[in-house]
């Protein structure tokens, strides 16, 4: 390992993880080592915030007495880290367009690999941090000296993550090496990402279906993860020492396998998998008008399997998991709900729209997906407002269809009366349209045309931390509002509660619409 080269590669890759944050730091006058420190500090800060949040939410559970919950959380966040790891490794290694820049340079493959895997780790760690908390809390509650508990937890966490990343690396690098991948790259990429998300969904559902208890009664243990429990709760016992030895051995074995199977052929593999090496052909459709051409162009923009899966897993997956999880347990039957819940269902439709229309949706990135084309389009004798309106129409229609499917699925699974389903659908359509307006204008405001990795688009503005807070905040607010509304419906008559809400909604929607007409669309007139 060449330390200088590795440090330089890390420095470069760090600047690429979140270019918006990097540019912000640059604008505040940070350069060189100060800039690197500033980026690293941001990750440390967000890590500390996540640790605090997870720590507070898990504080009540005594993991030292509950090996079932201990192994459940380790498995749960392992599955999430695995799913995210697959797409992160694929993105960082195969989709990033910086790789071609390294190929002619005398960097060692192992250094490029390590630098990139550290970047993958940085992006995935927030998803797996609860495991660190589980380890620390299990150790502390077992009466182990705090410093030792934290040290052991950190060591175990590193071993745990390195096993997850090794497993992901074998899958991604193994699959991309096959002849089938070389022949059907787009299909295999889509399958790879779909399967990784599918595994996460099925895994979570399976584990949830084993028990519905959220009380203090422990659940069944997952024996594969018990070694972690032994090391954290009884570190000086024979079983713990054997467990730690086993985990270390497993890690060493996976490092060795990575070295002999992946690193030895990595250069050739990256060359093979690098995008845009060979020409792609598409049948030409003659006599299309501008509108049809733009529709076709916009649909090509989103036909990237990586983008589709990122959007799917980040904006559509959560409501789908929520719906399927309840549907599988079969405990919710809303057939008894009467007309008084018309407004509540309308609000539920709005809530579902806020979950699925976010900075990671198609409509929130459709302008930036143009890349340099956007600047070129500006030079053409085309009406910019018409060009943008076509884009908006395309992306918001797509979003409306996706959201409508979610709402209808919810209605069917929860046996919602037809009229209430229509109300939810209506609320969802209106909210999707209004939120699409907001995120489309935001995309224009934070326009990024020289992105190399799709996640750069998603983290524009507030960055990763902001994104997590936005998601958590919107879930919290939605649940609160719906709960208050339901209480209101139970306490007051139909008109007294729904009337004011209806008026408020009308005023809110019209103001929202007028705001974006005036502040966004009219500037292109």
Please report, as ranges, the residues that interact with another protein according to CB under 8 A: 2, 4-5, 7-9, 11-12, 15-16, 19, 22-23, 26, 31-32, 98, 100-101, 103-108, 267-268, 271-272, 277-279, 450, 452
Residue 315: exposure state from Cβ atoms within 10 A (0-12, 13-18, ≥19): buried
CA distance 119 to 17: 7
C-alpha span between 144 and 25 (Å, rounded): 41
What is the closest distance, in whole angstroms, from the C-beta atom of residue 38 to another protein in the complex? 14
Nearest distance, CB of residue 157 and another protein, angstroms: 30
Structure tokens at 359: 């900075």
Cβ(468)–Cβ(476) below 8 Å = no
In angstroms, rounded to a whole number, what is the distance separating the alpha carbons of residues 109 and 96? Answer: 16
Closest CB 30 distance from another protein, rounded Å:
10
Smallest distance, Å, CB 102 to another protein?
A: 8
Judged by CB, which is closer to another protein: 280, or 289?
280
Q: Alpha-carbon Rg of the chain, whole angstroms?
A: 25
DSSP state of 224: G
Residue closer to another protein, measured from CB, 12 or 475: 12
Rounded CA gap, 258 and 251, in Å? 10
Name which of 8 and 62 has its Cβ closer to another protein.
8
Write down the least CB distance from residue 100 to another protein, Å.
Answer: 6
Q: Quote the CA–CA distance of 498 and 493 in Å, as a whole number.
A: 8
**Beta-carbon contacts of residue 348 (< 8 Å; ≥ 6 apart):** 424, 427, 482
> Helix 494-519 vs helix 463-491: angle between axes, to the nearest 10 degrees?
150
Query: Is the CB of 107 or the CB of 521 nearer to another protein?
Result: 107
Measure the CA angle with vertex 181, ends 177 and 183; round to 5°.
125
Residue 437 · residue 512 · CB < 8 Å: yes
Task: List Cα–Cα distances, 172 to 10, 13, 129, 196, 251, in angstroms.
Answer: 22, 20, 23, 10, 18
Residue with smaller CB distance to another protein, 29 or 330: 29
Shortest Cβ 184–another protein spacing (Å): 13
Q: First vs last Cα of the chain: how many Å apart?
A: 58
Q: Of 338 and 461, which CB lies nearer to another protein in the complex structure? A: 461
Query: Can you tell me whether residue 275 is helix, strand or coil?
Result: coil
Smaller CB distance to another protein: residue 23 or 329?
A: 23
* Identity of the residue, 6 or 489, whose beta carbon is nearer to another protein in the bound complex: 6
Cβ proximity to another protein: between 143 and 276 the closer is 276
Q: Do the beta carbons of residue 162 and residue 251 sit within 8 Å?
A: yes
**Alpha helices, DSSP H only, in 234-304?**
238-257, 266-273, 290-301
Give the shortest CB-118-to-another protein separation in angstroms: 16
CB 306 within 8 A of CB 95: yes
The nearer residue to another protein, 38 or 397, going by C-beta atoms, is 38
Closest to another protein by CB, 104 vs 215, is: 104
Minimum CB distance to another protein smaller for 73 or for 458: 458
Question: Rounded to an integer, what is the distance from CA 46 to the centroid of its chain?
Answer: 16
Shortest approach of another protein to residue 191 CB, angstroms?
22
**Residue listed under structure tokens 């939810």:** 424
Taking the complex as a whole, the smallest distance from the CB of residue 433 to another protein amounts, in Å, to 34
CB of 109 to another protein, least distance (A): 9
Of 214 and 279, which has the nearer Cβ to another protein? 279
Query: Which residue in this structure is represented by tokens 């787009």?
Result: 186
Least distance in angstroms from the C-beta of 3 to another protein: 10
Written as one string, the DSSP assignment of 312-357 is IIIIIHHHHHHHHHHHHHT----TT--GGGHHHHHHHHHHHHHHHS
Minimum CB separation of residue 108 from another protein in Å reads 7
- As measured in angstroms, the least distance from the Cβ of 475 to another protein is 33
Distance CA 55, CA 133 (A): 6
Beta-carbon contacts of 351 under 8 Å, excluding residues fewer than 6 positions away, are 478, 481, 482
Burial of residue 462 (number of CB atoms within 10 Å: 0-12, 13-18, 19+): middle
């Amino acid at each position: 390992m060449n330390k200088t080269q590795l440090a330089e590669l890390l420095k470069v890759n760090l600047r690429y993880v979140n270019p918006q944050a990097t540019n912000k730091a640059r604008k505040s006058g940070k350069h060189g080592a100060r800039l690197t420190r500033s980026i690293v500090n941001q990750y440390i800060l967000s890590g500390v915030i996540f640790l605090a949040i997870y720590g507070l939410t898990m504080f009540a559970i005594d993991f030292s007495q509950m090996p079932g919950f201990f192994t459940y959380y380790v498995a749960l966040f392992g599955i999430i880290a695995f799913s995210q790891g697959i797409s992160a490794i694929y993105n960082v290694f195969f989709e990033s367009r910086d790789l071609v820049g390294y190929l002619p340079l005398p960097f060692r493959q192992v250094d490029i690999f390590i630098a990139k895997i550290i970047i993958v780790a940085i992006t995935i760690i927030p998803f797996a941090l609860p495991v660190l908390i589980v380890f620390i809390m299990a150790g502390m509650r077992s009466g182990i000296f705090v410093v030792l508990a934290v040290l052991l937890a950190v060591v175990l966490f590193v071993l745990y993550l390195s096993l997850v990343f090794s497993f992901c690396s074998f899958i991604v690098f193994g699959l991309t090496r096959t002849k089938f991948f070389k022949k059907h790259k787009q299909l295999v990429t889509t399958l790879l990402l779909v399967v990784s998300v599918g595994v996460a969904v099925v895994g979570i559902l399976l584990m949830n279906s084993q028990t519905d208890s959220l009380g203090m009664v422990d659940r069944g243990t997952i024996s594969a993860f018990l070694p972690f429990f032994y090391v954290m709760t009884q570190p000086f016992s024979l079983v713990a020492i054997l467990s730690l030895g086993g985990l270390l051995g497993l890690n060493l074995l996976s490092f060795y396998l990575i070295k002999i199977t992946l690193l030895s052929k990595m250069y050739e593999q990256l060359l093979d998998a690098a995008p845009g090496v060979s020409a792609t052909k598409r049948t030409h459709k003659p006599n299309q008008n501008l509108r049809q051409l733009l529709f076709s162009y916009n649909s090509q923009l989103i036909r990237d399997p990586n983008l589709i899966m990122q959007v799917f897993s980040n904006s559509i997956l959560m409501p789908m998991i929520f719906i399927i999880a309840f549907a599988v347990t079969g405990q919710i039957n809303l057939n008894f709900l009467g007309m008084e819940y018309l407004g509540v269902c309308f609000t539920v439709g709005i809530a579902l729209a806020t979950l699925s229309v976010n900075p990671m949706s198609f409509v929130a990135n459709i302008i930036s997906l143009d890349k340099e084309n956007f600047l070129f389009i500006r030079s053409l004798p085309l009406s910019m407002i018409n060009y943008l309106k076509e884009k908006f129409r395309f992306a918001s229609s797509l979003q409306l269809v996706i959201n409508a499917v979610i709402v209808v699925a919810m209605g069917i699974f929860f046996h919602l009366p037809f009229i209430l389903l229509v109300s939810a659908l209506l609320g969802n359509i209106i909210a999707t349209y209004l939120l699409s307006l907001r995120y489309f204008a935001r995309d224009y405001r934070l326009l990024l045309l020289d992105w190399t990795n799709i996640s750069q688009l998603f983290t524009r503005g507030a960055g990763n931390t902001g994104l997590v807070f936005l998601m958590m905040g919107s879930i919290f607010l939605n649940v609160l509002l719906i709960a208050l509304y339901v209480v209101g419906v139970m306490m007051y008559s139909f008109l007294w509660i729904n009337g004011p809400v209806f008026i408020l909604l009308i005023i809110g929607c019209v103001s929202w619409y007028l705001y974006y007409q005036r502040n966004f669309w009219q500037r292109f007139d």
